[in-house]
Structure 1
Amino acid sequence: MKSTIIIPVILSLTLLLSSCANGPNKAGMGAVGGAAGGALIGQAIGHNTEATLIGAAVGTMLGYMIGNEMDKYDREQLNHVYERGVSGQTNAWQNPDNGNQYQVTPQPAYTNPSTNQPCRQAQIQSIINGKTETVYTTACRDSYGHWQLKN
């Protein structure tokens, strides 16, 4: 197979696989971009199929890690609100990597009678790509002490 055909094949496969994901997944999108960039760099450096495939693999891994970190920032902020937020007081932040904005208003904590776990409800308003959405969530603390969204 000619190396000039490899890059379009890798890009097509990467886009095809990424379309199987449910909804916008920043880690998955990072992996797609990383794979494409890695394949191009690998081809430019090695001028052969092996270098292109290695570049795509390394790029996928790095892109996934970077995309996952963006999600992680928002999860850390939300966890902080559930853990220390004052009931009825809105907490806001803007993700420094993508500009998404969040406003979270937690409610008083309570004990879930069926699981005996501390739980807390919150209203989350987000502005992502200029689109505002408001959701109501409940999070309960798991056995490790982390808040897990229930809905």
Structure 2
Amino acid sequence: MKYKFQLPDFRDSNFEIETSIWTGKSKLFKDDVQIEQSKEKGRPFLIPNGTNDLVKAFPKPSFPDFIPTLEINGVKNLIADKLKWYQYVLGGLPILLIFVGGLVGGVLGALAAITNFNIFRQEGTEASKYLKVIGISIMTFILYFVLVTLITELIN
């Protein structure tokens, strides 16, 4: 997933971070140039500040999101706006499949929830975002019951 943002310490620069929910690794770009990541503890990104100095930006996890924050000089900088509590509730409804469907339900529910959270952060009208999230949630439950029916039929 890619997110564009700006940092207060670098007002004239545009940043983009690319994160992987599978590996947890991130790549940071400043004005379309990839930023080097240090090997030291915390693996900070080394952002050049224009005066031949490097600013250390530490990627920090941000639960329940999969989008990290960047900590610079002790200040956490949000990459994407936090969702509202009701967006987490609505977007996370498919996770309830874990209680009904165990591993299969949990995997489908988690993938749908991650997709829903990303939809809430996309460009577009609020109405279209909510319609997409509701549609994905409904389709996830339908897909789960279709898969269970097919697996049951195959076993019997």
The TM-score bracket by the shorter chain reads 0.3 to 0.5
Q: What is the TM-score with the length of structure 1 in the denominator?
A: 0.35
Select the structure that is richer in helix. Answer: 1
Bigger Rg over Cα: 1
Provide the TM-score with structure 2 as the length reference.
0.34
